[in-house]
Amino acid sequence: MPELPEVETVRRGLEALVKDKIVKKVVVRYSKMVSPEAPVFTKELENKKILDVRRRGKYLLIDFSGNYTMVSHLRMEGKYSVVARDEAYGKHDHVIFELDDGSDLRYNDTRKFGRMNLVTTGEEFQIGGLKTIGPEPQPETLTLEYLTQQLRSRKRGMKSFLLDQSMIAGLGNIYADEVLWLSKIHPQQISNSLTDDEIALLRESIFEELQLAIEAKGTTVFSYLNADGHAGSFQNQLHVYHRQGLPCHRCGTLIERIKVAQRGTHFCPHCQVLR
């Protein structure tokens, strides 16, 4: 599933490619993907201008003229691309926005899990997980005081805590593993057992890791592509994710893989000791 760096990369690409363009027509080839129902969805967006492309956690928020916002979640395999109108539809191109410059903004999703919800602007934070989403992982919003309070008031494994979008927005399986390795915290360490120094290091590791991943335009492990159709490169900088059986970059111990919170989890048993 695309995580914050991948979604932010898509957001930046779409902002550069489609902002200020007008949607002349919308083609919905898989009606379960959109809300409201496809005839209403397509009609409301006709001749609407794309005003802005925002992000909140793993959600894309596309603002249109007419006081509309589309909340888009890419789920497991979703991706947007901008292509020439005469390019044949791909098998998994499910929603197509025909733009006034002769190009198409196409949404492709092999698993059909992605969703688009069109709402009145201002109501977007009442959709799904946006109702309860936690702060953005930035210094101004993810304060040390907030993080300390949330960790100390719960007795949860750290991997589970980091995956909870109501605690911190945008982290998923890849970056949870990576920031725990950077912080030398075991993925099953109980949240209220962390020291002040560990919490401070964890917070800084979150900022550092996500910034580096955004600069590398995200991680491509399976099928992620940005809006230009290119893969990210941060997979070349990963320390533990999908590196089971390989030596730790810090100590040389072989990376192990276990299952935590129903997710494959990677860590160094020497650097990340469970207390």
Whole-Å CA distances, 33 to 47, 112, 194, 223: 21, 7, 42, 20
Catalytic residue among 21, 136, 263, 269: 263
Tokens representing residue 109 in the block? 């999703």
* Active site (annotated) includes residue 208: no
* Active site (annotated) includes residue 58: yes
For residue 106, the 8-state DSSP code is E
Tokens representing residue 18 in the block? 């489609």
HSE toward the beta carbon, residue 73, CA cutoff 13 A:
17
Query: Count of CB atoms within 10 A of residue 207's CB?
Result: 14
Strands 68-73 and 115-120: antiparallel
Helix (H) or strand (E) holding 8: helix 4-18
Query: Count of CB atoms within 10 A of residue 142's CB?
Result: 19
For residue 129, the 8-state DSSP code is G
Instruction: Specify the 3-state DSSP secondary structure of 176.
Output: helix
Contact of 10 with 226, CB cutoff 8 Å:
yes
Tokens representing residue 37 in the block? 């129902």
**H helical segments located in 190-260:** 196-215
* Active site (annotated) includes residue 3: yes
HSE toward the beta carbon, residue 221, CA cutoff 13 A:
16
Catalytic residue among 2, 5, 137, 187: 2
Catalytic residue among 48, 55, 58, 203: 58
* Active site (annotated) includes residue 29: no
Catalytic residue among 3, 98, 178, 209: 3
Query: Count of CB atoms within 10 A of residue 37's CB?
Result: 11
What are the catalytic residues? 2-3, 58, 263
